[in-house]
């Protein structure tokens, strides 16, 4: 049942995962992995108070890389950025060096540091991952993102292409397309956009809900906020309490110059006292 819930989470069937996780809990209420599923499902559905309760249960049973990482995520949601970083460091230190789960925890730590403008520290973390796993594609991609943000565009392109050559992850293609768009490389962007749409279509055909990915694609790469709004609204119907969904809707409505609507969504996105830099930027435009 836990494995089933994990599959449902991976396909973005968060309501289904919550039902399955609660059924599993009736059979075993001292299994940390079950509580992990319930944390993730409740977070995605915007049930943050319930997610905190499940996280407390999880870490009391098994304080390890999985439980520390969930504490970190919840702390960030509630605006405790420094506490989130400290918990993510505990998660990374709880893992065995070089393993997939440790690399993932370190990647998440690096992404936190980068998002909150501690870029040199982020680069150090990504480099540490790559010293143990030189071909870890997500760390290569993350380095590319830092270099793009700091206007080192040749380095960004190098790392994006290197990550793509290892694994055809749609997010890697999106980052490369955004880089080319910033350089006005129209032909390259057009080609990549076509490939991205095919990849998104393939994910949908495999049973994944890709509403947010489509919405971001049409907003950021295609400059079609009306089309983006259609997909974002579909996701909002499924999980109206989720702060990420509300933040994206605020961003789309800003692009459409619908400031009253954007303000409402931004307020909903900030209800947990999130210090998300994108949300702060959106609010500044209202």
Residue-wise pLDDT tens digits, 143-168:
999 999 999 999 999 999 999 999 99
Note down the domain range covering 271.
210-286
For residue 129, tell me if it sits in a domain.
Answer: no
- Residue 245 belongs to a domain: yes
Q: Is residue 79 in a domain? A: no
Q: If pLDDT is split at 50, 70 and 90, which confidence band does 112 have?
A: very high
pLDDT at 45 over 90: yes
pLDDT, tens digit (0-9, with 9 covering 90-100), for 245-275: 999 999 999 999 999 999 999 999 999 999 9
Structure tokens at 192: 């990549």
Mean pLDDT of 102-106: 97
Q: What is the mean pLDDT of residues 176-198?
A: 97
48-91 pLDDT per residue, tens: 999 999 999 999 999 999 999 999 999 999 999 999 999 999 99
Mean pLDDT of 176-194: 97
- What does the pLDDT read at residue 97? 87
In a domain, 101, yes or no: no
CATH number of the domain that residue 231 is part of: 1.25.40
**What percent of the chain is predicted at pLDDT more than 90?**
99
**Per the domain annotation, does 108 fall within a domain?**
no
Specify the number of domains making up the chain: 1
Quick check: is 237 in a domain?
yes
Mean pLDDT, residues 231-244 taken together: 97
Let me know if residue 120 belongs to a domain: no
SS in 3 state form for 152-198? CHHHHHHHHHHHHHHCCCHHHHHHHHHHHHHCCCHHHHHHHHHHHHH
pLDDT value for 111: 98
Torsion from C-alpha of 267, 114, 233, 282, nearest 10 degrees: 40
> Does some domain include residue 94?
no
Rounded CA separation 153/46 (Å): 36
% of the chain residues with pLDDT over 70: 100
């Amino acid at each position: 049942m836990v494995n089933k819930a994990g599959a449902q989470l991976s396909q973005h069937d968060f309501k289904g995962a919550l039902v399955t996780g609660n059924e599993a809990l009736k059979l075993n209420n001292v299994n940390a992995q079950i509580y992990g599923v319930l944390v993730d499902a409740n977070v995605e559905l915007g049930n943050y108070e319930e997610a905190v309760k499940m996280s407390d249960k999880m870490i009391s049973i098994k304080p390890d890389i999985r439980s520390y990482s969930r504490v970190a995520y919840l702390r960030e949601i509630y605006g405790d950025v420094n506490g989130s970083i400290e918990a993510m460091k505990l998660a990374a230190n709880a893992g065995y060096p070089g393993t997939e789960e440790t690399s993932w925890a370190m990647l998440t730590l690096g992404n936190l540091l980068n998002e909150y403008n501690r870029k040199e520290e982020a680069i150090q973390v990504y480099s540490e991952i790559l010293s143990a796993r030189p071909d870890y594609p997500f760390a290569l991609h993350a380095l590319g993102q830092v270099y793009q943000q700091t206007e080192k565009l040749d380095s960004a392109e190098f790392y994006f292409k290197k990550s793509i050559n290892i694994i055809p992850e749609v997010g890697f293609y999106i980052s490369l397309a955004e880089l080319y768009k910033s350089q006005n490389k129209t032909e390259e962007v057009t080609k990549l956009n076509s490939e991205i749409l095919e990849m998104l279509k393939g994910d949908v055909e495999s049973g994944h809900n890709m509403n947010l990915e489509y919405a971001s694609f049409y907003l950021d790469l295609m400059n079609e906020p009306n089309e983006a709004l259609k997909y974002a609204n579909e996701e909002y119907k499924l999980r109206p309490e989720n702060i990420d969904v509300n933040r994206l809707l605020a961003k789309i409505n800003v692009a459409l110059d619908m400031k009253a609507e954007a303000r409402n969504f931004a307020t909903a996105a900030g209800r947990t006292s999130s210090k998300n830099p994108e949300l702060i930027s959106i609010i500044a435009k209202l």
